[in-house]
Amino acid sequence: MKRRLAALFLVVALPAHALFDDQEARKRIDALRVEVDARLEKLEAATRGQIELANQIEALKAEVARLRGQIEVLTNEVESTQKRQKDFYVDLDTRLRKLETPAAEARPNEAKPAADPAAEARDYEAALNLFKAGKHKDAQNAFLNFIQAYPNSAFLPSAHYWAASAHYQRGEYKKAMELFAKLAASWPDDAKAPDALLGQANCQQESGDAKGAKKSLETLVAKYPDSAAATVARQRLAPRTPPRKK
């Protein structure tokens, strides 16, 4: 009798034990699902972060390249200004020597009053200071007056460049382009000639003449390959490729 009761108890207990194991298994499966979902969300968030970081890096690279080009242009302008100052003093010394020659060596009917070197330098610096101060209209007029007043000045190429730049800053691209083009054509060996071609390309681009701008940039690279302006031109001519997808 006791053996039958024990067997009956065992039979009744077995389903309860099996049910208990199924519930524990389901709980573990649910817990694993929650954990897997959480890990997947973290992985997706990390992937999105990597893509955003890659895009930011590409944007920063482009910005660094642009800033490097600007630095090279500014460096070139500083060097050009220093060279121009040196040339000015050489020209000033030459003019003073000519003034020391006897007046009888020149014909009276061909003699022309020589420009005052001090006034010439003063007028040029005054016009340049106007441009630096952002007074582009006043600077434009001052440089144009300088060009008329001192047609033989050593500062003439630079005066054309800054007058053109003043026109450009005021959105007068046609007038600016004419002055830039005159500088590049009349003084091709001047330090400002490469910058003038770059300025001409800028004017053409702003005027909607993309083909003309491209031609000016190609001319700049071909004629002045070692100039800072040519470095900027190459960057603009290089085909732009979209950032690679990670």
Q: How far, CA to CA in Å, does 118 sit from each of 91, 93, 98?
A: 12, 12, 16
Cα–Cα distance measured from residue 86 to residue 94, given in angstroms and rounded to the nearest whole number: 13
pLDDT in tens, 54-71: 778 878 777 776 777 667
Contact by Cβ (8 Å): 127, 162 = yes
CA separation for the pair 132, 162 (Å, rounded): 10
Domain of residue 110, residue span? 90-237
Distance CA 102, CA 231 (A): 50
- Residue 24 belongs to a domain: no
| Residue 137 maps to a domain | yes
With CA atoms as reference, report the closest residue to 66 among 242, 238, 246, 207: 238
CATH number at residue 225: 1.25.40.10
4, part of any domain = no
Tell me the pLDDT of the chain averaged across its residues.
Answer: 80
pLDDT at 191 over 70: yes
Contact at 8 Å (CB) between 224 and 230?
A: yes
Examine residue 12 and state whether it is found in any structural domain, yes or no: no
151 falls within a domain: yes
Q: What is the DSSP letter of 30?
A: H
The Cα 104–Cα 60 span in angstroms is: 68
Instruction: Give per-residue pLDDT as tens, 88-101.
Output: 655 554 554 455 44
Mean pLDDT of 226-245: 84
Residue 1 DSSP label: -
Length of the chain: 246
Q: Per-residue pLDDT for 183 more than 90?
A: yes
Residue 197 lies in a domain: yes
**Within the chain, where are the H helices?**
2-100, 117-132, 136-149, 156-169, 173-186, 193-206, 210-223, 228-237
Q: How many domains does the chain have?
A: 1
- Concatenated DSSP letters of 131-150: HHTT-HHHHHHHHHHHHHH-
pLDDT of residue 12: 47
| 158 within domain boundaries | yes
| Contact (CB, 8 A) for 175 and 167 | yes
What was the pLDDT predicted at 111?
A: 45
Report yes or no on 242 lying in a domain. Answer: no
Per cent of the chain over pLDDT 90 is 48
Q: What is the DSSP string of 71-98?
A: HHHHHHHHHHHHHHHHHHHHHHHHHHHH
Is the CB of residue 54 less than 8 Å from the CB of residue 246? Answer: yes
Higher-pLDDT residue of 214 and 79 is 214
